[in-house]
A and B are shown apart, each in its own frame.
Chain A
Amino acid sequence: DAGVIQSPRHEVTEMGQEVTLRCKPISGHDYLFWYRQTMMRGLELLIYFNNNVPIDDSGMPEDRFSAKMPNASFSTLKIQPSEPRDSAVYFCASSFGTGVSPLHFGNGTRLTVT
């Protein structure tokens, strides 16, 4: 079991640039979640998918953020244009079902926007 795989591990970019974060969930998991973690706000749910379909994107901060899941093994989170306040660690997590099985997290992408 390879676990949830995220890339890149670190991203440093300048304000205004486009940033794309990538995630490969655990094979067989039907739910995928994107979280953002900061010291001030902890882990915040941005969006989650079930069987590749977005179910709840109410946590996406604004139109600069978008997420896609074109197939069961790949998802992206895009920020365009990026701003310094987007600096955080972004985690992807997957699960088989919800509420009855745990979330499995990737190692995260640390994003720094200067």
Chain B
Amino acid sequence: EDKVVQSPLSLVVHEGDTVTLNCSYEVTNFRSLLWYKQEKKAPTFLFMLTSSGIEKKSGRLSSILDKKELFSILNITATQTGDSAVYLCAVFGYKYIFGTGTRLKVLA
């Protein structure tokens, strides 16, 4: 059965810290891995990764995929209180399967 596992489940850091969120997966016919940020309401799209070793970057956020080891990481540098959210990882094989998320809290 396809599955996506995220770690840690939750994380508390101080502003300015760097965090690394992990996503490992087992999926048939892997095509892509996606990261989302969810605050109070709908998940919002961050990155889509399809190729190993190519870093996607947007401001202080970056992500990379390792298709051999079946995982991805999401890095956030110089964290801000506005980064507090649940970060979701999803993998597409024949359908989108989501992990349960990492809850990040950034303290001022």
Q: Which residues of A contact B (CB under 8 A)?
A: 33, 35, 41-43, 45, 48, 56, 91, 98-108
Contact partner of A108 among B42, B48, B90, B99, CB < 8 A?
B42
Contact B97 A45 (CB under 8 A): yes
Contact partner of B88 among A43, A101, A106, CB < 8 A?
A43
Chain B residues in 8 Å Cβ range of A102: 34, 45, 48
**Bound complex: CA A62 to CA B48 (Å):** 32
CB distance from B34 to the nearest CB of A (A): 6
**Bound complex: CA A100 to CA B31 (Å):** 7
Within 8 A of A (CB), among B4-27: none
Q: Which 10 pairs from chain A and chain B are nearest by CB?
A: A99-B31, A42-B100, A105-B42, A43-B98, A99-B92, A102-B45, A107-B41, A107-B42, A99-B32, A105-B43
CB distance from B37 to the nearest CB of A (A): 11
Chain A residues in 8 Å Cβ range of B31: 98-100
CB distance from A56 to the nearest CB of B (A): 6
Q: Which residues of B contact A (CB under 8 A)?
A: 31-32, 34, 41-45, 48, 50, 88, 90, 92, 94-101
Known contacts: A100-B31, A102-B48. The answer to whether A42 contacts B42 by CB under 8 A is no
A-B contacts, 19 listed (Cβ < 8 Å): A41-B100, A42-B99, A43-B43, A43-B88, A45-B98, A56-B94, A91-B42, A91-B43, A98-B31, A98-B92, A99-B31, A99-B92, A100-B50, A103-B43, A103-B96, A104-B45, A105-B44, A106-B42, A108-B41
Chain A residues in 8 Å Cβ range of B44: 105
**Bound complex: CA A42 to CA B96 (Å):** 13
- When C-beta atoms are compared, the residue in chain B nearest to A42 turns out to be B100
Chain B residues in 8 Å Cβ range of A48: 95
Chain B residues in 8 Å Cβ range of A105: 42-44
CB distance from B102 to the nearest CB of A (A): 11
Contact A42 B101 (CB under 8 A): yes
- When C-beta atoms are compared, the residue in chain A nearest to B48 turns out to be A102
CB distance from B99 to the nearest CB of A (A): 7
- When C-beta atoms are compared, the residue in chain A nearest to B41 turns out to be A107
